């Protein structure tokens, strides 16, 4: 039995998130069906994290166990011929027997994209948040810095998946502007449900003057979701990088 790790890339617009669900089409189900067409095996694919409906992935890692003998270097092309055009397998490698895409993950980075212009871009409709009101990038940068470090992030998570702890370490939270495009990158050792989208909404609130960046540490201490910014819409969110040790880490670089 081999443990195969896949590097995937997908546009999440047409899917109800990653995780298999009873009545909705998901990325995981689509990948599992493609593997069945390729290998004749019904497998369960473990993903590196839960992405919600409409959320995208520039880099995503998943693994599955198989008896098939297809060489890993041949696997991406073979699998892509069975996948729809909005999902691609970029690379594959044989992982250690105990490798698990979510439990073995060292850290992840999400990127949130905002089109800050008075005129919408129809080509970005499902790939960025169109925000026509002026945004003050320098204030957003100051606000983003306040999320860096080890904190309890209960104040920026939505009710959803239960976790043992809401404490996480954010390695960086950065804001960059290039023309009308604002990108917010957040890297952490783990994420709570809707955490990045709530951070983005809070950073936006600071730009609008509804909160001061200096208030953020105290707001995190309250653990009260009602006191922070709104949850940004899903189409602007991308899983952009995932880190692992060993051969899988080399594949994901």
DSSP the chain: -EEEEEEEEE-GGGSS-SS--SSS--HHHHHHHHHHHHHS----PEESS---TT-EEEEEEEEEEE-----TTTHHHHHHTTS-TTEEEEEEEEPPTT--TTTT--EEEEEEEEE-SSS--GGGTTTSEE--S---HHHHHHHHHTT-EEEE-GGG--S-S--S--EEEEEEEEEEEETTEEEEEEEES---TTHHHHHHHHHHHHHTTSS-GGGHHHHHHHT-GGGSPPPPPGGGEEEEEEE-SHHHHHHH-
- Residue 10 half-sphere exposure toward CB, CA atoms < 13 A: 29
pLDDT over 90 (residue 204)? yes
> What's the gap between Cα 57 and its chain centre?
6
Average pLDDT score over the chain: 97
- pLDDT for 40 equals 97
Enumerate residues 6+ apart whose C-beta is below 8 A from 19.
26, 28, 47, 50
| Token representation of residue 126 | 């499902």
- pLDDT for 103 equals 97
- The residue with greater pLDDT, 116 or 164, is 116
| 40-55: average pLDDT | 96
Catalytic residues, by residue number, are: 52
Residue found under tokens 């991406």: 76
* CA proximity to 45, closest of 83, 13, 77, 85: 83
- pLDDT for 140 equals 98
What percent of the chain lies above the pLDDT cut of 90? 96
| 73-94: average pLDDT | 98
- pLDDT for 162 equals 75
What's the pTM value of the predicted model, to 2 decimals? 0.96
| 49-61: average pLDDT | 96
Task: Map out the domains of the chain with their CATH numbers.
Answer: 2-104 (3.30.70.580), 107-240 (3.30.70.660)
Rounded Cα distance, 219 and 123, in Å: 36
> Is the torsion defined by CA of 243, 245, 251, 253 positive or negative?
positive
pLDDT in tens, 115-146: 999 999 999 999 999 999 999 999 999 999 99
pLDDT in tens, 7-24: 999 999 999 999 999 899
pLDDT in tens, 211-239: 999 999 999 999 999 999 999 999 999 99
pLDDT over 90 (residue 161)? no
- pLDDT for 66 equals 97
- pLDDT for 163 equals 83
């Amino acid at each position: 039995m081999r443990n195969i790790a896949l590097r995937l890339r997908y546009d999440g617009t047409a899917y109800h998130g990653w995780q298999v669900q009873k009545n909705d089409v998901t990325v995981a189900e689509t990948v599992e069906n493609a593997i069945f067409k390729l290998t004749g095996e019904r497998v369960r694919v473990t993903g590196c994290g839960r992405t919600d409906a409409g959320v995208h992935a520039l880099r995503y890692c998943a693994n599955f166990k198989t008896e098939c003998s297809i060489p890993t270097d041949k696997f991406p092309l073979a699998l892509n011929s069975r996948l729809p055009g909005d999902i691609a397998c970029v690379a594959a490698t044989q992982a250690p027997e105990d490798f698990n895409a979510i439990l073995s993950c060292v850290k992840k980075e999400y990127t949130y994209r905002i089109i800050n212009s008075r005129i919408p871009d129809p080509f970005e409709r499902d790939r960025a948040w169109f925000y026509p009101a002026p945004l003050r990038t320098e204030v957003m940068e100051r606000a983003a810095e306040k999320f860096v470090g080890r904190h309890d992030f209960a104040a920026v998570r939505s009710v959803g998946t239960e976790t043992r702890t809401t404490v996480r370490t954010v390695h960086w939270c950065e804001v960059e502007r290039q023309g009308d495009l604002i990108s917010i990158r957040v890297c952490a050792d783990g994420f709570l449900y809707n955490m990045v989208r709530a951070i983005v909404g809070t950073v936006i609130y600071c730009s609008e003057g509804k909160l001061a960046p200096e208030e953020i540490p105290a707001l995190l201490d309250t653990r009260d979701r009602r006191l922070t910014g709104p949850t940004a819409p899903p189409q602007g969110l991308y899983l952009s990088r995932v880190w692992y040790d060993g051969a899988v880490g080399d594949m994901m670089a």
